[in-house]
Structure 1
Amino acid sequence: MSAILPAQWPAPPQVRALQTTRLGGVSRGVYAEFNLGTRSGDDLRDVESNRRRLHDVYGVPDAVGWLHQVHGTRVLQVPRSVDSDCADASWTAQPGAVCAVLTADCLPVLLCDADGRCVAAAHAGWRGLCGGVLEQTVAALPAPPSALMAWMGAAIGPQAFEVGPEVRERFIKQDAQAVTAFTAGRGDRWLCDLYALARQRLQRAGVSQIYGGGLCTYSDARNWYSYRRDGDCGRMATLIWIN
């Protein structure tokens, strides 16, 4: 795998979308190599060098709307119309403005409309999914849900993501179909399929075209950072913009 994983979906040609891997940057130690997270504990000079590489090598526009992610459901428009960058999703209809989320096991989800006039990126760990971050992102876009398509990047896979019974109960209380996204694990623990939960949520919100999924950050230490696996680690970025 290379430093960049392009989104595989039938988006309009003016929509550019990708997820970075951990390969190809200058970060060292537990953050090696392509860490893009400024709050990870890495040397900020290395992170800034890696972020410049996004622009200089991979053609990402300079106007990236980096967020301060808090596992919530707030959705911002970029360029930002408010001072705070505290949010877990963003959208834009402005060409050259980049929506971005950082992950290291949580699920990144990209959205665009069929005409390529609006795009969005969402950070969806289990808390965000349960809180409704995908539904909020779909609602924020100036296009009907039926006109949207989604792509899911790499996240911790269902064979590795163990949660307590209270997490399972919260999802099932909201939607009985969520029971299919959990498999019995050790003792009272459950294995959780973030991809399945995201598909269910998107479909309930009216989005039927859903692509991607299936790559596990936890089980592939060569290509992906994983907080569950390593603790201190870097962050991948998932980005989308309109050319």
Structure 2
Amino acid sequence: MDPVSLLTAAAILAVPAPVTPADLVPNNPAIPTTAALMLGVSQDADEPAVEEKSPWSGTLGMGLTASRTDTNTLGFNFNASASRADDMSNWDSSVKYIYNKDDGSVKDNFFIAQTEYDRVFEKGSAWNWFAQGSYQYNETESYRQRVKAFAGPGYFISRTDSLSWNLKAGAGTTWDDQGSENGWTPRSVLGTNWKWQIRKGINFQGSAEIQNSLKDFESYLVVLELKVNIALEMMENLNLYFSLRDEYDSSPGIGGTWNSMWITMGFSYGF
């Protein structure tokens, strides 16, 4: 090819291609196309909305109970709980009923309702304050009915999704319907509570407290509670639970028991 032909071919190749209507539409998904504007359709319409997790949860359960008061007996239990948790606070409430009968005699007729609330002073802080209260009825114990209320400061050793562990100290009062300490008794409280998700589907929670009388520090109550929940694959939200509650009273009075223990197991449904 001669030089003139080469120059002519180069000039033709250097001319840009004509602009088409498609080139006028920017290749940016954030800018809607003309068709989308005319039809009133958002380009993000196909993106699913993220469902916000509810701060509330609850359980209903029932099963068997092995108890040790003045004798060892077997009976049944019913329980329910409700909880609320957010970035600043936790609120846990529960009820439990235990009934055991042996040789025609009632060995356990026990009911307890309890609630506890804690709140950090500021987001991300380990320091918090707590308030808790409970009512319990026990047909076979000398106190018959007991009310408790406590409040004070607390400190979180851990406050994560897998482990929440709080230490607390405070003061309050108890009221016994009957027994050696009937009426109101001012008390201190020193204790801890925790929730630990050991792994997916298995969690372990509990609390331990000592409640000393401010009138006589050698008179005290000790309460220990432990519970394990195991999620079952056979049905969604169905759990197998094991729990233990142990109460020690240093001054039980006539007809009372120094140490009462209840071990329960059963199935619960979470919602």
TM-score scaled by structure 2? 0.26
| Higher relative contact order structure (alpha carbons within 8 Å, sequence separation ≥ 6) | 1
Whichever structure has more strand as a proportion of its residues is 2
Whichever structure has more helix as a proportion of its residues is 1
Structure with bigger gyration radius: 2
TM-score scaled by structure 1? 0.28
